A and B are shown apart, each in its own frame.
Chain A
Amino acid sequence: MSNPASLEVREVSAGYGGAPVLRSVSITAPAGTITAVLGANGAGKTTLLRAIDGSIKPSGGQIRLDGTDLAGAPPENVSRAGIAHVPEGQGVITELTVAENLQLGLLLRRRADRAQALADLYQRFSVLADRRNMAAGTLSGGERQMLVIARALATDPRVLLLDEPSLGLAPKIVRDVLDLIKRLKDDTNLTIILVEQNARSALAIADTGIVLNLGAVVATAPAGQLAADEALRRHYLGF
């Protein structure tokens, strides 16, 4: 695994076609931590990830990976720099097999490292090993979520962006996925930005919590402290 890296979002503004969604958002994710980004629908959580990964160009601000500013770089360069985005929903390429999805991620590694990395991934994600030659479109929702996370890891990332990994999954699977994310951080020291609607579960595994509302940061605090702040919880997080 690569060395962990810190990610700093500094006063980033962004939006779609002139309509601003994010207003001067600042976030610091220290190396090897989980930062949960929470907030209601439309708060700008997904837009934040899309601004970080280069899918949309920020209209202002900086996105610094270990001090290097990536703001405005296209997605293929951001992923090459070591930021892997696991997009919400249909992130698997359904027409390719499970193995091909993973191999696509592995292409960002040195040729000599690919076989070992693939073997490691199959060991961690045994359900994918069993289905490696099946079309990814045949997987269940939980299995697809495993595949997109595994494929992001295949790129040897330094920072992992996870967008609503629990969306549409059964409660039991949600627990599995969140456990997996926690173990990933403990084992590999990855820096993880976790966007979740499911605030209670996300705070349970996060180090820091950030609450977005209407495109601006309204709270930044250690996860435990956020979870204990009853007024904030009721007002923004709905639990």
Chain B
Amino acid sequence: MVEFLEFTLTGLSAGMIYAAIALSLVLIWRGTRVLNYSQGAMAMLTSFIALEVVYATGNYWLAFAIAMVSGLGLGAVVERIVVRQVTGRPPLNAVIVTIGLLIGIEGLAGLFFGGNNRSFPEPYSPNGLSIGKVALGITRNDIFIGVAVLAAAGLLAVVFQYTSIGLRLRATAFNSPVARLLGVRVGRMLTLGWALAGLLGALAGMLVSPSTLLSPNSMDAIFVLGFTAAVIGGLESPVGAVVGGLILGVVLSYAGGYLGSEVVNLFGLAALLLVLMLRPTGLFSSAPARRV
């Protein structure tokens, strides 16, 4: 029973990170119909920037803030300079361009930061928490992960649902030709969408790097799981992305805990296949499949 609780809690904590990546993919997909294969690489880059700040100043929170700002900036720059060139072209162009970005960013990171695994700081003590004598198997950092991702997701939800900029963002995502007829500067909204996604990715990078260690391709596996979470959620639904991330985190945690860590990746792919076979539009998509 204690074991079950522990697996559940660590699963939720890992799931939060998949949720953050999934949410960033959903944001971009809804806005630009592009699947950003370089999302993990971008998060890796902002984490390296944060790590350099930690080396230079020793201040985790300063590094955290700089990572978030770099994520915003990187997302915006990538949209403006690279993705803008392929909008309105066949979908395969965008796929190739973002895969190219993935390879390019990882290559550059290797050049500047080397290929070694770097240990990455955590904001809080790594000692396990317990209630009375019962160890929970999680630390304050796991709680921080949950709070940070939920806060980011909640903030985004409020912005999208209750502000005029959110209304413009949604209108752009749902029907950009009509949005333009109503005076919405669609180009700026797309840039903003990518910037927000970059911020979420940067957050995921900061949260996951202490456990995966940081190297030029350390975010690849996280990206695949985040993508799986987004597909479970239907790729269209922000709520679905978060729930998909949590489901995936918990399932993988049980699989790793009860069956051994070597089956984790297998289960991740099995979950993806299962959802695609049984409900190809995802668990949370109410809209019929989109004609492309």
Please report A residues at the B interface, Cβ cutoff 8 Å. 53, 55, 74-76, 79-80, 84-85, 87, 91-96, 100, 103-105, 107-108, 151, 155
Contacts and interface: CB of A to CB of B under 8 A. Distances in A.
Contacts of B179: 93, 104
24 contacts: A55-B177, A75-B180, A76-B180, A76-B184, A76-B185, A79-B181, A80-B183, A85-B181, A87-B177, A87-B181, A93-B174, A93-B179, A96-B167, A96-B170, A104-B167, A104-B168, A104-B171, A104-B182, A105-B182, A107-B164, A107-B183, A108-B182, A151-B182, A155-B183
Contacts of A151: 182
A108 B178 contact: no
B170 A95 contact: yes
B175 interface: yes
B3 to A, nearest CB: 44
Contacts of A104: 167-168, 171, 179, 182, 184
B69 interface: no
A103 B182 contact: no
Interface residues of B, number: 17
Q: Is the interface of B mostly helix, strand, loop or mixed?
A: helix
Residue with the greatest number of chain A CB neighbours at <10 A, chosen from B175, B178, B185: B178
B181 A107 contact: no
B186 interface: yes
A155 B177 CA distance: 16
B237 to A, nearest CB: 11
Contacts of A80: 183
Contact of A76 (B164, B167, B170, B186): B186
Given A96-B170, A100-B167, A104-B171, A74 B180 contact: yes
Nearest to B287: A95
A103 B167 contact: yes
A105 B180 CA distance: 11
Contacts of A107: 164, 167-168, 182-184
Contacts of B178: 87, 91-93
Given A100-B167, A107-B164, A107-B168, A79 B180 contact: yes
Q: Closest 9 A-B residue pairs measured CB to CB?
A: A75-B180, A79-B183, A95-B174, A108-B183, A93-B175, A80-B183, A76-B180, A93-B174, A85-B181
Given A80-B183, A103-B167, 19 more contacts: A76-B180, A76-B185, A79-B181, A84-B181, A85-B181, A87-B181, A93-B171, A93-B175, A94-B174, A96-B167, A96-B170, A96-B174, A104-B167, A104-B179, A107-B164, A107-B167, A107-B183, A108-B182, A108-B183
Contacts of B164: 103, 107
A96 B171 contact: yes
Interface in B132-188: 164, 167-168, 170-171, 174-175, 177-186
B170 A79 contact: no
B171 A53 contact: no
Given A55-B177, A107-B164, A79 B182 contact: yes
Interface string B220-253: 0000000000000000000000000000000000
A74 B176 CA distance: 13
Contacts of B184: 76, 104, 107
B176 to A, nearest CB: 10
B183 to A, nearest CB: 4
Contact of A75 (B167, B170, B181): B181
Contacts of B186: 76
Contacts of A155: 182-183
A85 B177 CA distance: 11
B175 A76 contact: no
B193 to A, nearest CB: 16
A50 to B, nearest CB: 10
A141 B164 CA distance: 27
A155 B178 CA distance: 13
Contacts of A55: 177, 181
Contacts of A85: 181
A155 to B, nearest CB: 6
Contacts of A93: 171, 174-175, 178-179
Contact of A53 (B168, B170, B174, B181): B181
Interface in B99-125: none
B173 to A, nearest CB: 9
